[in-house]
Copies of this chain bind each other. A is one copy, B any other.
Amino acid sequence: MPRHFADRLCEAVKSKKTALVVGLDPVYSRLPSTIKSHYESSTEEFDATSAVDAIFDFCTQTMQVVAPMVPAVKINIAFFEKYFWEGIETYYALISEADNLGLEVIGDVKRGDIGHTAELYAAAHLENPALVGLEDTLAPDAITINGFAGIDGIEPFADMATRQGKGIFVWVRSSNPSAAVIQDFADADGQTMYEKLAEIVGQVADKAERIGKSGYSNVGMVVGGTTPKVSTALRQKYDKVWFLVPGYGSQGASAADCVRFCKPDGTGALINASRSIIYAYEKPKYKEQFGDDWKKCIEQAVIDAKMDLANAMETLM
């Protein structure tokens, strides 16, 4: 049995001195040209297998660059599902690579359903398979889930995560333009739907068997970084919860917005940046400095993002 997921997160965030998580959302057409040209020239016909091989290569090299600097990576399965079963095999291969590099791995899968189906999804995405022929496959350390079904649809994931020493992050509030229509839908007392959902997640998170030595639960919340009022209120109310905060960087949330989810010691939130890091080599400011050395660009983007978040933390305190 591995140590409690939340305790591993605390240790990783403290040792890397940052809440920054690198999100892997790889699109073939945006890969560095050196990687693309290698795979396009090495096969007679460029096919789906070549594309996923190139994506695997890019993601592995990216993780090797970022592993000494960040506690975790978030792998977005949608970008792998596009390549059907070959993409899924690559997704799991990357989880093993990340594990070898000492990174915590969050599978951004947003699964959600009721009853038996929720149990099956939990088994698929959180249980290290004991199946013969697949026993070397690793499930991620945590996944994101969709809690639209209410507590029935959350508990099967939380139970499986707890049994496996893993974690879940329930999607509570996103920062896309139309999110408010549903997620801020408010009752007669002004309580919003996402606040109601947060209460349910808070109850699931609070169960004694889910709390680690660090005082944190293995059940967390996904909350977009663009709403500072939301972040401050949720951080205060749900003391035992880790927040996974998307939207830092390309999606427009500032460092100041995001660090409001952290506690003063820097734990309690994972702040995800995807495109602003993994495509850093597209940005003039890095390109001018490092030319075609795309890994140097990514490395520098991580250094800059960590500094940006550290400065924001200091201003906050």
Most chain B CB within 10 A, of A76, A116, A137, A180, is at A116
* Residue contact B171 to A25, C-beta cutoff 8 Å: no
Interface residues of A in 172-222 (CB under 8 A from B): 174, 176-183, 185-188, 193, 196-197, 200
| Neighbouring B residues of A87 by C-beta, 8 Å | 124
Task: Given A150-B176, A174-B114, A178-B151, answer yes or no on A134-B185 (Cβ-Cβ < 8 Å).
Answer: no
Complex CA gap A79/B183 in Å reads 29
A150-B132 contact, Cβ under 8 Å, with A78-B117, A85-B86: no
- Whether A178 lies near B193 (C-beta < 8 A) is no
Shortest Cβ gap from A49 to chain B (Å): 6
Distance, CA A236 to CA B157, complexed state (A): 36
A290 within 8 A of B: no
Which of B79, B153, B183 is within 8 Å of A120, CB to CB? B79
- Please tell me if the beta carbons of A48 and B132 are within 8 angstroms of each other in the complex: yes
Inter-chain contact B148/A148, CB cutoff 8 Å = yes
A62 interface residue (CB < 8 Å to B): no
Number of this chain's copies in the assembly equals 2
- Having A82-B124, A110-B113, A147-B182, one finds 17 other A-B pairs with CB under 8 Å, namely A25-B117, A47-B132, A48-B129, A48-B132, A48-B133, A76-B120, A82-B123, A84-B88, A84-B137, A115-B176, A148-B148, A150-B176, A150-B181, A152-B177, A182-B197, A185-B187, A188-B188
Q: Give the distance in Å from the alpha carbon of A174 to the alpha carbon of B82 in the complex.
A: 28
- Seen from chain A, the residues whose Cβ lies within 8 Å of a Cβ on chain B are 25, 45-49, 51, 76, 78-79, 81-89, 92, 108, 110-117, 120-121, 123-125, 129, 131-134, 137, 146-153, 171, 174, 176-183, 185-188, 193, 196-197, 200
Asked if B84 contacts A134 (CB within 8 A), the reply is yes
Q: How far is the CA of A25 from the CA of B115 in the complex (A)?
A: 12
Q: Is the Cβ of A92 less than 8 Å from the Cβ of B85?
A: yes
Cβ–Cβ < 8 Å partners of A117 in chain B: 25, 76, 78-79, 108
Question: Complex Cα distance A132/B39, Å?
Answer: 14
**B152 with A178: CB separation less than 8 A:** yes
* Known A-B contacts A117-B78, A124-B81, A149-B178; A186 and B183 likewise in contact (beta carbons under 8 Å): no
Nearest-neighbor residue (CB-CB) of A134 within chain B: B48
